[in-house]
Structure 1
């Protein structure tokens, strides 16, 4: 992701032809499809949801985070090949990472909320007030923006390519360890625990009628976990490896070039989360299934057909 200093005859190509092709070939469809799906989701959750609940509040915020991230994609693509003022780069990077990690924590909240609903179904149906969900989402947004503030000191003020040329501060071990633990490993642990508990509860229901009343089979429960793993594991692995490069633990030239390409591809893959969240909306929200035509599309896909029945 970042430009490395030359060491001897070792030169790293930040933006290979393969990286440029993948960025344009995946980012453009992701932007178009993601914007359509998330705009549709926002309209359903805001206009057609019969009564706002904790779940609807989380999903509205997740769709909003996805839309904002998608809107930052054209800027990210353009200014990763064209130089821009450091302050503008800091804003674009801040916008991108705020919505990435905002999405991660809102997905975790949805998973925990689903766990509570399955674990304590009667209490959850009685108490569906969105008040706490609104407060939690406000807290997530505030913390995400606060944590993005160091972006404004990671660059010099001159013209440069965004998402490149960050200072050594950006790759300090305490900062990267904090990002990995609080931004990925803890959310992942919570999601794995809740998903495993949900599957165990659903598979051990004595009454098939009760399982049906829950509105979700065990296969549906893990959809968001699978999306999370596919989209966010590679990029956090790439961040870890790039930190080792910047700390001069990894010095082999070809390996450094491979890691540079890997993290670029991983970031492109992470953007797919904005589209895949729409699949999660379908499985998690009855209103979304009823108000959209996605059921026919889902049923045509062999991977998701068992979940759509």
Structure 2
């Protein structure tokens, strides 16, 4: 986690410097990608707290307030990242499929307003993490644990269901639809594309690669979360299921963290303009 944090902070700071300091004004796609980098940076700066918790053998060494706030960065990053990708997918869909009929939506002012609203939406969806996360002393292990403390199983299932629905199912459906249409549009013959569509092809390729990386890194985590919710509702039972979920959860969480390091690498590899800037 410390290695991922150091790499993630350095790389995402570089990405934000490229987007913010180059001479030309950012395009709509770049505005969304820079906000995605900011969400990744926000996560990376809070990750050392979790690493310290793990190093201390899961005996929480910090204040009660930090116990509530540091998981907020993870949840907020999860929500903001996937919804920034929703905005990016919609922008690419409009740029390739409806380049003339929806010009107003693709203005920079609209993109900036959408990003502000999305940050607020991500914070709102992350409120349960702050409310229910507490430091609880466990006398059996003689440790102070930073855990989610729901009042009952119904409350836990409600918020887990909300996280699965708004944090994965709804956005992934939108992204999947837009991506399918985008790929269909890109597979048409070059002669059938307008000049504006040809111009939009290069940033669209970068977006598709970033979307693919997100799917690879985040989908396993969300699948485990959904299976964990089903286990809590007694839909899934058995010691083997519980054991496998316990093994998969931390592995897929590290994969989620690595996505914040992977995105800046993709910008450099795929986008010629980014390398130039």
Normalised TM-score (structure 2): 0.83
2:80 aligns with one of 68, 93, 102? 102
Q: How does 1:3-22 map to 2 (within 5 A)?
A: none
Report deviation, 1:253.
2.7
Distance 1:45 1:217 in 2: 14
Q: 1:30 is matched with which residue?
A: 4
Does residue 188 of structure 2 align to residue 204 of structure 1? Answer: yes
CA distance in 1, matches of 2:271, 2:104: 18
1:279-290, aligned counterparts within 5 Å?
279-282=265-268, 287-290=273-276
Other-structure match for 2:46: 72
Question: C-alpha separation between the residues in 2 aligned to 1:203 and 1:238?
Answer: 34
- Given that 1:31 and 1:73 are in contact with CA atoms closer than 8 Å, whether structure 2 keeps it comes out as yes
- Which position in structure 1 is the counterpart of 2:167? 183
Q: 1:49 to 1:275 in 2, by over 3 A?
A: farther
In 1, Cα distance between equivalents of 2:127 and 2:229:
20
Structure 2 CA distance for aligned equivalents of residues 37 and 185 of structure 1: 29
Q: Where does 1:54-73 land on structure 2 (aligned, <5 Å)?
A: 54-73=28-47
Aligned to 2:96: 118
State the 1:36 CA deviation: 2.1
The 1:91/1:274 distance shift into structure 2, 3 A limit, reads same
The separation in 2 between residues aligned to 1:41 and 1:247, in whole angstroms, is 42
Aligned with 2:212 (options 218, 223, 226):
226
Question: 1:148 is matched with which residue?
Answer: 126
Kept after mapping to 1: 8 A contact 2:213/2:259: yes
Give the unaligned 5+ runs of structure 1: 1-26, 292-309
Matched, 1:172 2:156: yes
Give the deviation of 1:116 after TM superposition: 1.2
Aligned partners of 1:62 and 1:219: how far apart in 2? 17
TM-score (ref. length: structure 1): 0.75
- Please give the secondary structure, in 2, of the residue aligned with 1:240: helix
Question: Which residue does the alignment assign to 2:221?
Answer: 235
Q: What CA RMSD, in Å, does the superposition of the two structures yield over aligned residues? A: 2.8
2:133 and 2:206 mapped to 1: Cα distance? 43
Equivalent residues of 2:202, 2:271 under 8 A apart: no
User: What pairs up with 1:235-254 in 2 under 5 angstroms?
Assistant: 235-254=221-240
Residues 154 and 166, structure 1, Cα contact 8 Å, conserved in 2: yes
User: Where do 5+ consecutive residues of structure 2 fail to align?
Assistant: 138-143
Report the alpha carbon displacement of residue 236 of structure 1 after superposing the two structures with TM: 0.9
Question: Contact (CA 8 Å) 2:186, 2:201: kept in 1 or not?
Answer: no
C-alpha distance in 2 between matches for 1:121 and 1:110: 15
Q: Is the CA contact (8 Å cut-off) linking 1:202 and 1:218 kept in structure 2?
A: no
